[in-house]
Amino acid sequence: MAYAEMRITFESDSGEPSVFQRRLEFKDLREPGGKEFTAQYMLSVAAMESNWNSYRLALPGVPNFARETEQTFRLEDLVSSVYEDRRNTQAVWVEITHILLRVRVLLAKSRAYHDQELEQSSDQHSEKKNLQWHLHLDRMEHFDLAVILLGKVNELAARLVFERLGASLIRNLDRRKPDWEREVTWKNIRIGLADKAGNPHLAAIPLPEYDAIQEIFDDFLKTETGTRLWAYRIKVVHRITPSVDRPDLYTRLEDRELTPLVDGAGRIEGWTKSIRLKRAAAEYVFPDLYDDAVRTLRHYIAVLERLEAIPRFGPEAEASED
């Protein structure tokens, strides 16, 4: 068991310094090196906390999609789906805003952790490798969650359109089933959106507005950076975790591919396979991944602003003029 006196002093040119102090108890610190690692790690986290907001301010701002709105209803709206259509549309905008704000914080902190990991490469203390490893894990934990949440944004945009149009875009949807929301996917909503003539909710939308919605759906996923980031997200969520910067910190599966040995007549006379004794290079480098995430965030916000500009699909969920 060990005790540490933590003291933080904020100095000021115009007054007395502000001092904060706390005595902490650490149990089961390893020997040797436990105290040094703990102290160096806490100092690195403090340095990250002092810097991440500068990265957040450099990210694209989140528009006020979650603004307070005044929605007025007629009595008949309360007994039809109009009330739920409009109220749910506003609620989804609030959810989208919360997700975007979380993404900004997560991305900014991942970038600040990256700085701390790089800074350790020039230090010479005995816990350098352990500290780099932990900071790398912290960085990727924040970044991967940001990427996963970014992938949720376009799904929520589709859900918003689904809710505003009376939950009518998916045929034979049984909302009494406990897991009915599993069918409310981008793909299914996209299919339903194409049936303008067969859906009264879509038929009531003027053609220019309908075309604008179709273009928004088309543009959401049509970026090179978004495509690369989506491929990374698929690997993180459903495949072997891809290596970033440090292949030595990630698992690797052996290649099962056999190469045929062909004689002069073109006949296969055997097979060969290669066994890698050295680790391959990392699949990704963090600065490139981070740049793709920032560009994708900026693109999503721009497309959402186009959706918000259509009165029917904005937070007020007012019917557009014919």
Give the residue ranges of the chain where pLDDT is below 50. 322
Model confidence over 33-85: pLDDT tens digits?
A: 888 999 999 999 999 999 999 999 999 999 999 888 888 888 888 888 899 99
Sign of CA dihedral 201, 204, 205, 211: positive
What pLDDT score was predicted for residue 297? 97
Model confidence over 208-240: pLDDT tens digits?
A: 999 999 999 999 888 999 999 999 999 999 999
Domain boundaries, the chain: 2-166+221-228+289-313
Count Cβ atoms within 10 A of the Cβ of residue 150 and give its class: 0-12 exposed, 13-18 middle, 19 or more buried: buried
Portion of the chain with pLDDT greater than 70, in percent: 98
- Reduced to 3 states (helix: H, G, I; strand: E, B; else coil), residue 206 is coil
Q: What is the largest CA-CA distance in the chain?
A: 90
What pLDDT score was predicted for residue 278? 67
Q: How far apart are CA 49 and CA 111, in angstroms?
A: 11
Q: How far apart are CA 90 and CA 66, in angstroms?
A: 8
What pLDDT score was predicted for residue 1? 81
